[in-house]
Structure 1
Amino acid sequence: MSTTIVADELHTVPSNSSLPTSSSATGIELADISPSTSSDSSPAPPAYDQTTTVTPQDTEAVPSSDGGPEPSSPGDFFTPTVHLQIETTGKQWLSLPLGTRPDPIAIYHVEAGSWSAESVPAYVSLRFSRNDGSCHLLRGDDASQTPVCTTLYRFGPGKPPIFRPSQALAPFHVPTPPASSGSSSTEVSLQEEENGHHEVDVSAADLQIVSKSLTSRTQILKTPVGTFQWRYATRKERATVPGADQLLVCELVQTVALAGGKKTEENKTRIAQFVRGKETRTRGTGRTTAGNGGRLMLDVMRWADSKDGRREAVEVLVVASCVCMLKKEVDRRRMQQMVILAAGASGGA
């Protein structure tokens, strides 16, 4: 019976390496090993950096309470390489169902497990106005305030948010079509009906984040660098992340062919998670606050060696889409408040 060993990586053998020298010994005497001697002689486990979080990753999809996948066995591991702190107060339960103030959302780099509000943010999200959820994502150290991604919210049902990444990001660069007086296949003009906003051009480089279903909070984002899925983690998944009262998971969804090539299945790999707990959520907010800030962790090592700017593009998209998920939480909270007020008004009539 033969055994096949599949290696994850191929390591290059130096040209100057030589085969190991054979030992001339004809016999080896093994010392007796007892449980007591084994435990005494074993070295202590290595110390790990507290800023690195390792979380079981998805290997097999099974139904969860939100209609999304749940990891059934800890196969690979999620090892974040980028830690960011998103600071936003969100929306409290005891408040009117109005839009939140357009305060800038600062996003800081977390180093050695800590961050400072006095430091220069890695990113800043700026909303257009209180009644408009559209926003620009800027780099905190960019004096020109050039957006790396713009999120556009359109009024009306069936109009999901649009991400417009900067053309400076290589994977999203689209050649400018020649000027034409007629309609273009890569540009469609949509009339904004809310507050009399001007027309917004939706180009081929724009990306839409859509709900997986009418009853699911899971969001799907298809991009040139891959398909991403944001979903709310199950209780079992939250238990694997220390200090996580709330956990949002972003996965890279890949379609792979099964043996024979006639069937396919989706392979989901966790590339980011947004953790909110006592030590990570924005100060002054609690577990019942909707859309409040927390700790965003990303694993972008699979794109580290790419020469076309994919690593930077993935980080920008994950940050922008995470802010969008917080905006959706605020919108749901406002809808819940409206329903409660309407029920109270009808009951008192």
Structure 2
Amino acid sequence: MISKKEKEELKASAASITSGTTAVSTAENSPFIAGKSLFINTRGIPLLRLPLPPSELEIDVSSADGSLAFRSIREKRCSGSCVLSDASQNNLISTTYFWGPSRDPVLQLLGPTTDPNANTIKTISKWTSCSHKFVMPDGRVFEWAYKRERQAGGKKMKVLMLYRRDDSIEGGKSVARLVRNEDTRTPGSSKSSAGNGGELVLSENAAEVMDEAIIVATCILMLKKEIDRMRTVQAMML
């Protein structure tokens, strides 16, 4: 059962993603310098609908020239678990997805190894929370969180940002950001959609910090969390 407090947290969490009125504030000492861009193509789900699983089983991630870079595939509509492959159909990362208290998803780097734990990316988050931490096999910690930024002309925009958590840097250093606005969000989605795609902008030195496929896989996981928070709120409204 979902407690009253958790219901209120879920409502506030879902509203913050669609309305752009609240955000996680994360400071960083060094400015974000944009490098490569990828485009995550998924419509997500609209605000007003029955709380059904999304119908899209495949999410394509394209390069700036429109060519396929990655593809994430779910086997079943009722499952959030998926496998990320590259343009040559080589499976790279599997995500075993869970929803609910104390059931954090697990990512597995696919490849030959004698120690499965050496390829496991653990995730940490309060299940009603917007942010999510990822612990790499080598112990480094990254976090996806939402930040409100002021754009040219003074307009504020919500951005989903990936940080490397380092005690020596206040707030962490930004590695990537997902930008969803009128120009970049996936066609067929809107400002009020949850889990919709957009432009995934990597920092100029992102490749030195995290593998590109991991950035994509963890970002898609965040979109899945958006959808499930929205679906939970939709179910509570019935």
TM above 0.5? yes
Residue in 2 that maps onto 1:275: 179
In structure 2, relative to structure 1, the CA distance for the partners of 1:322 and 1:287 (3 Å cut) is same
1:290 is displaced (CA, Å) by 0.6
Q: Does 1:216 find its partner at 2:119?
A: no
Number of residue pairs matched? 217
2:200 to 296, 302, 305: 296
SS in 1 for 2:75: strand
Taking the aligned partners of 2:121 and 2:192, their CA distance within structure 1 comes to 31
1:165 is displaced (CA, Å) by 1.1
Taking the aligned partners of 1:124 and 1:243, their CA distance within structure 2 comes to 33
**Alpha-carbon displacement from aligned partner over 1:241-294 (angstroms, at most 9, x marks no partner):** 9987431011111123xxxxxxxx755111100000000001111100111110
1:316 to 197, 202, 213: 213
Residue in 2 that maps onto 1:191: none
- Structure number with bigger Rg: 1
Residue in 2 that maps onto 1:150: 94
In structure 2, relative to structure 1, the CA distance for the partners of 1:266 and 1:167 (3 Å cut) is farther
Question: What percentage of residue pairs aligned between the two structures are identical?
Answer: 30
1:147 is displaced (CA, Å) by 1.2
Task: Say which structure is richer in helix.
Answer: 2
Residue in 2 that maps onto 1:226: 140
In structure 2, relative to structure 1, the CA distance for the partners of 1:245 and 1:69 (3 Å cut) is closer
Alignment gaps of 5+ in structure 2? 1-21
Taking the aligned partners of 2:106 and 2:85, their CA distance within structure 1 comes to 16
Q: Does 1:176 find its partner at 2:114?
A: yes
Q: Does 1:80 find its partner at 2:27?
A: no
For 1:187-266, list aligned pairs within 5 A.
Answer: 203-211=117-125, 213=126, 216-223=129-136, 224=138, 226-234=140-148, 237-239=149-151, 245-256=157-168, 266=170
Residue in 2 that maps onto 1:28: none
1:302 is displaced (CA, Å) by 6.2
TM-score by length of 2: 0.80
Q: Does 1:134 find its partner at 2:81?
A: yes
Q: Does 1:122 find its partner at 2:69?
A: yes
1:94 is displaced (CA, Å) by 2.1
Residue in 1 that maps onto 2:61: 107
TM-score by length of 1: 0.56
Residue in 1 that maps onto 2:107: 163
1:326 is displaced (CA, Å) by 0.5
Q: Which amino acid aligns with 2:142?
A: F
Taking the aligned partners of 2:206 and 2:195, their CA distance within structure 1 comes to 29
SS in 1 for 2:80: strand
Q: Which amino acid aligns with 1:272?
A: A
Larger RCO: Structure 1 or Structure 2 (Cα < 8 Å, ≥ 6 residues apart)?
A: 2
Q: Which amino acid aligns with 2:159?
A: L
Root-mean-square deviation (CA, aligned residues, Å) is 2.7
Q: Which amino acid aligns with 1:255?
A: D
**Alpha-carbon displacement from aligned partner over 1:212-247 (angstroms, at most 9, x marks no partner):** x4653111111127311110112xx24369987431
1:328 is displaced (CA, Å) by 0.5
In structure 2, relative to structure 1, the CA distance for the partners of 1:302 and 1:153 (3 Å cut) is closer
